[in-house]
Structure 1
Amino acid sequence: MFTERNISPSIFLSVPHDAPQFVAEIMDKGLHQWTLQRIVHLLDQDSINSILCLPIGNVSHPDRIVWPWCANGLYSAKSGYHLIHALRNVSMSNGGQSSHCVNPLVWKEIWKIVTLPKIRVFCWRIVSKALATRLNLCKRRVNVNPICPLCNDQVESKEHLLFLCPWVKMVRFCSTFNYRVNPQSFTTFDQWFKSLIQMKFPSSLDKRNFLTKISFLLWFIWKARCRFIFDGCKPEPIHVLQMANSAARDFLEACLPSISIGITNREVLPAQPLWSPPRLGWYKVNSDGAWKSNKAAGLGVIIRNSEGAFCGGLAEGKVCQSALATEADAVLSGLNLALSLHHRKVMVETDSRVVKFGISGNYGNRAWSILPILLEIRRMETLFDSVEWCWIPRNKNRAAHMAASIGIATVHRVTWLNQPPPSLVRVLVSDGLPCPPVM
């Protein structure tokens, strides 16, 4: 269990016995900021960043116990069961057992492959050891010969079936992928897939198309094997390769025409404005956050009126615990900027559904982890005459995204009241709305 104000014990190992008073002296409750001047010489940079990442909310609210292994922060017997088994597997792995742990990156990248949904599920089944190879069937005590029925030489594991069987080697040899599997260094499917996604490609488009074609090839190898088992049709490597290539090409041309012909997003400009102005007398506040795994973050805010004219903006660099906390901090910065400019009726747009629903009181999808920021946003909301909250897709939030990109490269806050930087002007103009000219 953790509390919402949980502080890593490794940070305050040398804190005196009056720890609550000590912690209170290094935080500014009014500004909701940490003041570490007294102890900065005692800490390394990682510890400083860990402290600065902790949000300071309204201290009048009592602490609340949350269960971090559930998205809503509430304990369930199912999550406890899975946690116990996960810890047991880790313990077995540390004890030198034969358990194999799949890298989380593999699970994430499998669901990001641009391919048919059934092929993504097929790839997931391979990694999950749920593919009905003869070796897996024998392990589940099914009375079947574990030897590969196609070569009658090796046991039919998923690695043998998809990579090492002689007829599959012929498929790869005839392919134009310019990629070869080394049997001596080949270990498991997930290790191979991890090395695949870490390969260097000329562009993200090339990598995406390559993974699409690989996924179709694996699928058609499996289908050819199943036709041999159930229909007695011996697979022909050239025919299997041609069918896989044709299916992948048709999929890319039908579902992703801009990707298949190599058109970049820069070349496909929208014909209509992506951003829409608010009602007369209102101001629209667009916010966005940019976050890196080293906890470096950038906040971006853009304010425009009912005529679409630029009325203010900011870019700020800071340290945040997560991408979600960055998005919430960006919303809070937007409210502070609008309040300082005396805008009393605002419509706040964010491209984070979790933050938007969290402000409304829905703390699912780990919104409980940013509850102090959400409560501060709710407090700030009472200082305006009217506030409306909207979620928008990312392509309608490009100006704030550009400001956040500027913020992640800055050290201090940069505020623009009437003249944004040239890079931001170009994005604002592309929305089809008025913007100050570049000076």
Structure 2
Amino acid sequence: MLDWTVSDFLTEQGWNTDWLMGCLPLHVVQKIHCIFAGFNHTEADSCIWQLTSNGEFSVKTAYLSLFTEETNYTWNWDMIWKLQVPPKIKTFLWLLIQGKLLTNVQRVRRNLASNSNCPCCNGSMESLDHLFRRCRHATKVWNSIGIPNQVAHSFSMDFKDWLFTNIKASFSCMQGIPWSSLFLAALWFCWKWRCKKVFDLNFSPPPWPHIPIIHFSREWLVANRSRNSKLPKHVLKLHWSPPCAGWFKINVDGSCMGELGAISAGGIIRNDAGVWVKGFVTKLGCGSILEAELWGVFRGLLLTWNEGIRRIQMECDSLTAVSLINGETGTNHPLSSIIHCCKDLLLRDWECTIYHIYREQNSAADHMAHLGQYSSLGFHVIDLPPPSIVSLLANDSSRGTTARLVPV
């Protein structure tokens, strides 16, 4: 076994799960299993640029990496941009997490200053943790606002864990203001008052700092509600549609659950009468939701081909996955192997198209993907519909609709 290579663990259908499980612990196998390898037309390994989503080098990301503090903490950047706070606070938070705020510690590090002490208390080095948590002025801000019991434990955490816990908080506090919004406003005011102190030695923070912070947060909340309430909306009545006469349709979906990112995929093939032909689930290990969606597309296409079906419409509710497969994707993309294998399958001698649909039209495939979470690691073909999906199939066959409210 010591002489084995990676290829010894691969078959024409991907990884040999049994052999992997016999040699490695489960958490390692789960990370390996979602790597796309062993299939025909997979690409050779190559080096790509880690700091961009498409794997292509950019001068911008290379430059920014020089000023980013090294960290093992993983942030979901989409979460930041979706926060219900003013754009300037989103930008401020991005700089804060990247370690790019020019505190005195950072200024000394970049040879822009010689004194790293805090300009507010002049007692300790002005690190981010000191500025926003430990400085007596920061402590006054938090005491003035009042720390809710739900997040009180976070103030003894590591700095970035503290940030993450409070930003992810889903409860509201005084005057109906979400705690995450109030928390970020407090950080922003701490930075604003600190900068004003640097440039105006006579400046003193307000004696009751919670007043401007709450007022600012409340104003934004009310303005945002007013703006959203005036947006015109349109109700779409959505339902699954059978394929054209003589065609088959396969719906696929991916699933990602838990903090470790357990991913799975599933799909259903139906004929032009909406009758179940074949289904599948696949438990993939640990990865991203995009990986799960692409695996669903790949496994669905391959299963359909192997079933001898030559006129097929595929539907997927991941616009990103569909765009990557139907569009131009460079070889440096982190998921280029599975993307290009999907493209190769589409080019085989058959009539096959892939479309994006809303998730309300894909509920049966979503259910199959969810079932994949509770299956054993690997790919499983299902000949008969599971009892738990029968009602969803009946609803699809009867054109049962689901409403979706979308902006005009």
Q: Offset at 1:218? A: 0.9
Equivalent residues, number: 382
In structure 2, distance between residues paired with 1:376 and 1:397: 20
Instruction: Select the residue among 366, 389, 407 that pairs with 1:401.
Output: 366
> Is 2:315 the counterpart of 1:348?
yes
TM-score by length of 1: 0.65
User: 1:272 touches 1:432 (CA, 8 Å); kept in 2?
Assistant: no
Aligned partner of 2:295: which letter? D
Flag structure 2 segments of 5+ consecutive residues without an equivalent.
403-408
Q: Secondary structure at the match of 2:211?
A: helix
Aligned-pair RMSD on alpha carbons? Answer: 4.9
Pairing 1:18-417 to 2, within 5 Å after superposition:
23=8, 28-29=11-12, 32-34=13-15, 43-46=23-26, 52-56=33-37, 59=40, 61=41, 63-70=43-50, 71-72=53-54, 101-106=70-75, 108=77, 113-142=83-112, 148-151=118-121, 153-178=123-148, 189-190=159-160, 192-194=162-164, 196=166, 204=170, 209-230=178-199, 232-238=202-208, 240-255=209-224, 271-275=235-239, 277=241, 280-281=244-245, 283-291=248-256, 296-302=262-268, 309=274, 311=276, 314-320=279-285, 322-323=287-288, 324-336=290-302, 338=304, 340=307, 342=309, 344-351=311-318, 353-354=320-321, 356-358=323-325, 360-363=327-330, 366-367=333-334, 369=335, 371-372=337-338, 374-375=340-341, 378-379=344-345, 381-385=347-351, 387-392=352-357, 394=359, 397-411=362-376, 412-416=380-384
Q: Check whether the contact 1:277–1:305 (CA below 8 A) recurs between aligned residues.
A: no
Deviation at 1:225, TM superposition (A): 3.3
Q: What one-letter code is carried by the residue in structure 1 that aligns with 2:141?
A: V
CA contact (8 A) 1:53 1:320 kept: yes
Q: Does the 8 A contact of 1:273 with 1:432 survive in 2?
A: no
Checking the alignment, whether the CA contact within 8 Å between 2:322 and 2:356 is kept in structure 1 is no
Q: Distance in 1 between matches of 2:127 and 2:32?
A: 49
Closer, same or farther: CA 373–34 of 1 in aligned 2, 3 Å: farther
Residue identity opposite 1:314 in structure 2: G
**CA spacing shift, 1:77–1:136, aligned 2, 3 Å:** closer
d(CA) in 1 for partners of 2:269 and 2:362?
12
SS in 2 for 1:272: strand
Residues 431 and 237 from structure 1, CA distance in 2 versus in 1: closer, same or farther, beyond 3 angstroms?
farther
Kept after mapping to 1: 8 A contact 2:31/2:287? no
SS of 1:66's equivalent in the other structure is coil
Question: What is the match of residue 13 of structure 1?
Answer: 2
Deviation for aligned residue 1:115: 2.5
Q: Which runs of 5+ in 1 are unaligned?
A: 1-11, 90-99, 261-269, 435-439
The 8 Å contact of residues 57 and 376 in structure 1, kept in 2 or not, is answered as: no
CA 1:381–1:126 in structure 2 vs 1: closer, same or farther (change >3 Å)? same
Structure 2 length-normalised TM: 0.69
CA distance in 2, matches of 1:78, 1:44: 39
Residues 252 and 296, structure 2, Cα contact 8 Å, conserved in 1 = yes
